[in-house]
């Protein structure tokens, strides 16, 4: 078993995260973690990090990195939990616990709103003159509940859709 001795040399507080620098004779690492994760540990400058501390910081760093990446992706397009999960699968060494924590955080903060995904897909497809059945198929592929899709289909005015098709 390889034992790495790291000592915290700097803690830099930002608006919504903390950067913790830890070093030893051969190695320097910066952990960027959320304020909540930082507050749950007693990490101080000149403190020697235990193996448990290092594992905690590495997992917190991965979580914060993935959360930030997902938020940037969500800034451009409404996504489903399934799509976020698929996106997170591209990151190597990401445990399912961290992936689930990211999805839970995004959901509880209102970023993974199913109704908003449905509305934006219908609106986008309407602008592209795609029919409601094509939109329903797309939503199903995106991992949405079929009953929610069915409810949304009932709200679409078939006469209006027919008029748009004629104008095409």
Three-class DSSP category at 163: helix
CA 90 to chain centre: 13
pLDDT in tens, 91-122: 988 999 999 999 999 999 999 999 899 989 98
Contact 96, 134 (CB under 8 A): no
pTM over 0.75: yes
| pLDDT at res. 30 | 96
Task: Report the share of the chain in percent with pLDDT over 70.
Answer: 94
| pLDDT at res. 104 | 97
| pLDDT at res. 1 | 44
Residue 102 and residue 168: Cα distance in Å, rounded? Answer: 43
| pLDDT at res. 44 | 94
- Which are the contacts of 154, defined by CB distance < 8 A and separation ≥ 6? none
| pLDDT at res. 131 | 85
Confidence category of residue 136, pLDDT binned at 50, 70, 90: very high
pLDDT in tens, 33-66: 999 999 998 899 999 999 999 999 999 999 999 9
Residue 59 and residue 41: Cα distance in Å, rounded? Answer: 13
CA 98 to chain centre: 10
Which of 54, 56, 106 lies closest to 78 in space, CA to CA? 106
């Amino acid at each position: 078993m390889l034992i790495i001795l790291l000592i915290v040399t700097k803690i830099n507080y930002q608006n919504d995260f903390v950067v913790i620098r830890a070093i030893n004779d051969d190695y320097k690492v910066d952990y960027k973690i959320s304020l909540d994760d930082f507050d749950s540990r007693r990490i101080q400058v000149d403190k020697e990090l235990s193996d448990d501390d290092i594992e905690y910081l590495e997992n917190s760093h991965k979580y914060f990195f993935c959360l930030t990446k997902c938020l940037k992706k969500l800034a451009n397009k409404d996504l489903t939990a399934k799509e976020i999960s698929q996106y997170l699968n591209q990151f190597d060494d990401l445990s399912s616990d961290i992936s689930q924590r990211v999805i839970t955080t995004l959901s509880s903060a209102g970023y993974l709103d199913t109704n908003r995904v449905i509305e934006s897909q219908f609106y986008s497809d309407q602008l592209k003159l795609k029919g409601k059945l094509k939109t329903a198929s797309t939503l199903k592929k995106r991992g949405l509940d079929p009953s929610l899709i069915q409810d949304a289909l009932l709200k679409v005015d078939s006469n209006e859709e027919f008029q748009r098709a004629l104008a095409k």
